[in-house]
Chain A
Amino acid sequence: MLDYKYQDRDTVIHRLTPWSKLGWIASLVLLAVIFDHPVYLFLLFLSTIPVIAAARLTREWASLMKYCLFLCLAVVLINAIISQNGSHELVKAPFSIPLMGNLRITLEGIVCGVGNSLRLAAIISAFSVLILAIHPDDLMQGLIKMKLPYKSLLVASVSARFLPALLEDSRNIVAVQRSRGLEFSSGSKVQRTRNYMAIFIPLLSNSLERASQLAEVLESRGFGSKRRTFYKELKLTGSEIVVLISALLPGIFGIIIYSQGFGSYDYYPALEGIGFMGMEAICLIFLLFLATLVVFTALVKRRTEID
Chain B
Amino acid sequence: MHGSSLSIDEGEFIVLLGPSGCGKTTTLRMIAGLEIATGGRIDLAGEDVTALRPSRRDIGFVFQFYALYPHLTVRENLAFPLKSIGMPRKQREAEMQPIIERLGIGHLLDRKPPQLPGGDQQRVSLGRALVRRPKLWLMDEPLGQLDAEERLLMREFIKEQQQELGVTTVFVTHDQEEAMALADRVVVMSAGEIRQVGSPIDVYERPDDTFVAHFVGSPGMNMLSGSLLADGFRAGGESGVVIPLHAPVRGAAASLGVRGEYLHLDPGGPIPGTVVVDEYLGAWRNLHCDTPCGRLVLRAPGDQAHVPGDAVRISVQAERALLFDAAGKRVSS
**Is B a genuine binding partner of A?**
no
- A contact set with B: CB distance below 8 Å: none
- B contact set with A: CB distance below 8 Å: none
